Amino acid sequence: MPSDMRQSKDMTVAGYGFGVDADVNKPLAIEIIAYSYMKFLLVCILIFSLVQIGHSALTATANIHVDSTSVAIGTVLFHQRDANSPVRVVGIIDGLKNNTVHGFHVHRDALMNGELNCTAAGPHFNPYSTLHGPREADLGHRHVGDLGNLTANDNGIIIIELTDSIIDLYNATRSVANRTIVLHAMRDDGGKGGFPDSNTTGDAGPRIACGVISLAMIESDTNSQSPKISTMVTDFFRKLFP
Burial class of residue 30, CB neighbours in 10 A (0-12, 13-18, 19+): exposed
Which of the residues 79, 81, 88, 143 is marked catalytic?
143
Q: Is the alpha carbon torsion for 47, 48, 53, 59 positive or negative?
A: negative
Answer for the pair 181, 208: CB distance below 8 angstroms, yes or no: no
Q: Which of 132, 142, 179, 187 is catalytic?
A: 132
Catalytic residue from among 67, 94, 146, 168: 146
Quick check: is 88 catalytic? no
Whether 184 is catalytic: yes
55 is catalytic: no
Instruction: Verify whether residue 141 is a known catalytic residue.
Output: no
CA–CA dist 226, 219 (Å, integer): 10
Task: Name the catalytic one among 65, 102, 124, 187.
Answer: 124
Q: Of 79, 179, 184, 187, which is the active-site residue? A: 184
Strand partners, 63: 75
Which of 65, 88, 102, 105 is an active site residue? 105
Distance, C-alpha 86 to centroid of its chain = 16
How far is Cα 99 from Cα 107, in angstroms, rounded to an integer? 24
Q: Is 135 considered catalytic here?
A: no
Which residues have a Cβ under 8 Å from the Cβ of 60 and sit 6 or more positions away?
77, 78, 169, 176, 177, 213, 214, 215, 216
Half-sphere exposure (Cβ direction) of 91: Cα atoms closer than 13 Å: 27
Annotation marks residue 146 as catalytic: yes
- Residues acting as catalytic residues: 105, 107, 124, 132, 143, 146, 184, 207
